[in-house]
Amino acid sequence: MNNTSLKNKTCAVIPFFNEEKKIKDVVNQSLQYVDLVIAVNDGSTDKSEKIISGNDKVRLINLSRNFGKGFALKTGLQKAIEFNYQFAITLDADMQHPPEYIPYFLNAVKGNDIVIGNRLSLMSNMPFHRKLSNLLTSKILSVKCKQKIKDSQCGYRLFRLSSIKNILPDEAGFEAESEMIIKAALNKLQIGFVDIPSIYADEVSKIRAFKAIIGFIRILFKKY
């Protein structure tokens, strides 16, 4: 099965919060490789929504307030299941996840339920504190999941939608991405990885370090 045949079976789920600078480019570039973009507006107060509205290949979901990335991801993935797509690719709206790598994920989907982008092989551009955080959390989750988790924090992922009913996150924040990995391991899902570049430019991170650490610790000790 080639990427052309997979395109009609694949949608992109793009949560966003105040990303008016980059979101149009992310959406348009993603549509070269997927059939539909499900864009989840997580309470934006800028012009992001208006910039991408009116495109018949975009389904826009407007949340009533800023719930958090985990909540937005869950909302988008549930909509992808409702629309009967086989696969959903999740990526950020700030161009940290270059859409031209979507074919690499599609090539890796055979035999896997989830394919996760791995930036830790190509992380020369990653700020030191992010390298340290990613390496540490990936090591911890590898122990927790009893398998090698190459990059636990990367949100650039491809999901086989028939497999994810039991791994949708309960957490609303950024820790939801680690939660889904833990649930996937517990449910014996196959997790694959593809190398992608780490891209950091002038964007302002929306991760609040202390809150993210507390959330990560909470899911580590949570009983699923």
The CATH number of whichever domain residue 181 belongs to comes to 3.90.550.10
Q: What is the pLDDT along the chain (224 residues), one digit of tens a residue?
A: 567 789 999 999 999 999 999 999 999 999 999 999 999 999 999 999 999 999 999 999 999 999 999 999 999 999 999 999 999 999 999 999 999 999 999 999 999 999 999 988 765 566 666 677 888 899 999 999 999 999 999 999 999 999 999 999 999 999 999 999 999 999 999 999 999 998 865 555 555 567 777 888 888 888 77
pTM, 2 dp: 0.90
Q: Which residues contact 79 (CB under 8 A, 6 or more apart)?
A: 13, 38, 59, 61
Q: How many domains does the chain have?
A: 1
Cα angle value 127/180/46 (rounded, 5°): 60
pLDDT score of 219: 86
Residue 118, domain extent: 3-220
Cα separation, 142 vs 147, in Å, equals: 5
